[in-house]
Structure 1
Amino acid sequence: MAILVVGSVAFDSIETPSGKVEKVLGGSSTYFALAASFFTNVRVIGVVGEDFLPEHEAVMTRRGIDTRGIERAPGLTFHWTGEYKENLSEAKTLKTDLNVFADFQPKIPAVYQDSEYLFLGNIDPVLQALVRSQMPDVKLVCGDTMNLWIGHFRENLEKMLKDLDVLLINDGEAKMLSGERNMVLAAEKVMALGPKAVIIKHGEFGATSFFRGGAFPGFEQSGPFRAPALPLAEVVDPTGAGDSFAGGFYGYIASQPKLTPAVFRRALFYGGVMGSFTVEQFSTTRLETLTRAEIEDRFKLFVQLSHLEQDDEQA
């Protein structure tokens, strides 16, 4: 099974209480693809500039990620500058240089047309809808968004949401999109816009999934499910944690022969596992050295924390 992901491939300059780095590898597609690659095949669509060197691309290709969909354009690669102060759950954007990303028009190579799964990374909803329209036969479509699109491009976002199966957003985005402060009511209103399921991320407190009644076969009796986050002694760099969560979650789903409630629950935990590794070092560094054995060992910690296996036996 293969996941096609469209989003940003970028450079980040980041400062946290643990230190400062300049122009390191980042971008929603990059983190997502690296995390998902531990579970299934991944194909990336994006755009980079002339400063994106072979060693940057090799970070992905060493993990077996198909980068033929990354376009090379004259100019510089998208560059985000941000900092985290006392609150590591919230980044402060200092500067955004869109560069070649400003004119990004996703092009789907013919060899990607047989992708079974599609992930629409956090980009303009018009571009998300464009890609979705070109992939009508995928088994499942999952996507992300942010407060910028919710607040200023809501009409376009709502059009995109009508063709989405699963939406991943954080607490604040769920409240902003729905106009509700209560999480249950917020999820219901978001799903009324189109998604069959919504996953609301709570940062260091895990994530909660909600399902629209009858949306997925076999999920008729599935209510909300809460997956905790693993307590960590130190967080070096939170950048990319949400995208890594999405990659782990969706990568695991794509690796399984059938989508069931038990698979969905386990996928949430694998998402948490991948996010927890990402924050241990700056940029993609930890994902570059990670092994599947380490992933499974940490997954066992999540199981112990939540008694997940007992729940799955009853599913």
Structure 2
Amino acid sequence: YSPDFSERETLYTHLNVFEQFNPVIPDSLRETPFVFLANIGPELQLHVLDQMKKPEFVAMDTMNFWIERSYYAVREVIARVDGLIINDEEARMITGQKNLIRAMEEIKEWGPKVLIVKKGEHGAVLLLDDGFFYLPAYPVRDIVDPTGAGDTFAGGFMGYLASADEITPATVRAATVAASALASFNVEGFGVEKLKEISDENIRQRVEEFQKMTCLALDR
């Protein structure tokens, strides 16, 4: 990571057990309504997805390694999911677009109904059928380790949607806020140590603080 944690450089990627991994989903879990295809090879993501029985909402993540190594397979997964959660570097890489808005609009045409592009300390941009939604990052005074913030964001997003009565544009926007709030806790400690300490009430309080910070009262 750079001194301000805004940039990272991947030195090595070792697949280790993933080189021979063949995930088999137990029958008891194949009707799970909400599925998140985490950052693994796109062929494995497709293999998992093929085992699921008509999930209500499927989202995925990927990274530069897979985009460079298995571009067309990544595109195949994107075409089959409801939501894609990636960062701005990956959005530009997969489209070849320098402008992030143009990159997001192009990706949206590939199939996903929900596209979230994370921008680290600058928040996240959400694109739905009804347009863009921009959310700044929650201001964290003491960043300890940003590792896992993306996975925490995705987990919070999926968990919020799974607890909602229905998936609407408003619900997706609210899920993005909750996800960002949860990820802000993650960077305050190493690993999952901070997430183990917090309660539902801590998350609600941070979401409320977030709402106050981002409320726009425009007088004409």
Per the normalisation by structure 1, the TM-score is 0.66
Aligned-partner Cα distance in 1 for 2:36–2:57:
9
Q: After superposition, give the CA deviation of every residue in 1:106-138 in whole Å (9 maximum; x if it has no partner).
A: 110111022111100011000001111111410
Structure 1 residues 213-224: aligned runs within 5 Å: 213=129, 222-224=130-132
Aligned mate of 1:175, from 89, 92, 97:
92
Where does residue 261 of structure 1 map in the other structure? 169
* Structure in which a larger fraction of residues adopt helix: 2
Structure 2: stretches of 5+ with no match in the other structure: none
Aligned-partner Cα distance in 2 for 1:182–1:100:
37
Aligned-partner Cα distance in 2 for 1:208–1:92:
23
Where does residue 124 of structure 1 map in the other structure? 41
Work out whether residues 89 and 238 of structure 1, in 8 Å CA contact, stay in contact via their aligned partners in 2. no
Where does residue 157 of structure 1 map in the other structure? 74
Work out whether residues 200 and 209 of structure 1, in 8 Å CA contact, stay in contact via their aligned partners in 2. yes
Q: Which of 1 and 2 has higher RCO (CA within 8 Å, sep 6+)? A: 1
| 3-state secondary structure, aligned to 2:175 | helix
| 3-state secondary structure, aligned to 2:60 | strand
Structure 1 residues 3-22: aligned runs within 5 Å: none
Where does residue 282 of structure 1 map in the other structure? 190
Residue 107 (str. 1) matches residue 107 (str. 2): no
The amino acid across from 1:300 in the alignment is E
Aligned-partner Cα distance in 2 for 1:97–1:187:
29
Structure 1 residues 121-270: aligned runs within 5 Å: 121-211=38-128, 213=129, 222-270=130-178
Q: Which runs of 4+ in 1 moved over 2 A?
A: 89-102
Aligned-partner Cα distance in 1 for 2:136–2:111:
26
Q: CA deviation at 1:102?
A: 2.5
Per the normalisation by structure 2, the TM-score is 0.93
* Structure in which a larger fraction of residues adopt strand: 1
Percent identical residues: 41
Q: After superposition, give the CA deviation of every residue in 1:186-243 in whole Å (9 maximum; x if it has no partner).
A: 11111222212210111011111112x4xxxxxxxx2100111111111000000011
Structure 1: stretches of 5+ with no match in the other structure: 1-83, 214-221, 311-315
The amino acid across from 1:105 in the alignment is N
